[in-house]
Amino acid sequence: MAIDVQPAVSPYLIVDDAAAAIDFYVVAFGAEELGRVPGPDGRLVNAALRINGSVVMLNDDFPEMTGGKSMTPKALGGTPVTIHLTVTDVESQFQRAVDAGATVVAPLEDQFWGDRYGVLCDPFGHMWSMGQPMREVSSEEIAAAMAR
């Protein structure tokens, strides 16, 4: 029987405590755990969550697989990647993540592109932005706002 393959793009996060990260994402973002695969030493080799309708995968750090170098955002001094969540109640969703332990990087504010938008850093060093579209904005209005 053929496997039904659904093309997708899924972030894959490396964290320093995957079990704790799963717990955090469940509380902070309402994630649904889809599964986890522990290795012989207890570290998670793979885990999958559904966050905001999309699959996010993660695993514990395995420096022994990357030339002895840790690959977590904390070990690397940060991350250039931000995972964006479009939500319908940004005030409560943002506060939920903060209450769960996320750090506010940019507070929620109304933005020129029409979203109420803010940025958080999770306890594992990954960046998350949240936005709720509040109004339609034309490309001309966006260009004018950017020029200011």
Q: Is the separation of the CB atoms in 97 and 75 below 8 Å?
A: no
Whether domain 12-147 has CATH 3.10.180.10: yes
Task: Determine which helix (DSSP H) or strand (DSSP E) holds 138, and give its type and residue range.
Answer: none
How does pLDDT run across 52-91, given as a tens digit for each residue? Answer: 999 999 999 999 999 999 999 999 999 999 999 999 999 9
Q: What is the mean pLDDT of the chain?
A: 96
pLDDT at 148 over 90: no
Structure tokens at 17: 């405590």
Q: What does the domain layout of the chain look like in residue ranges? A: 12-147
Split at pLDDT 50, 70, 90, the class of 116 is very high
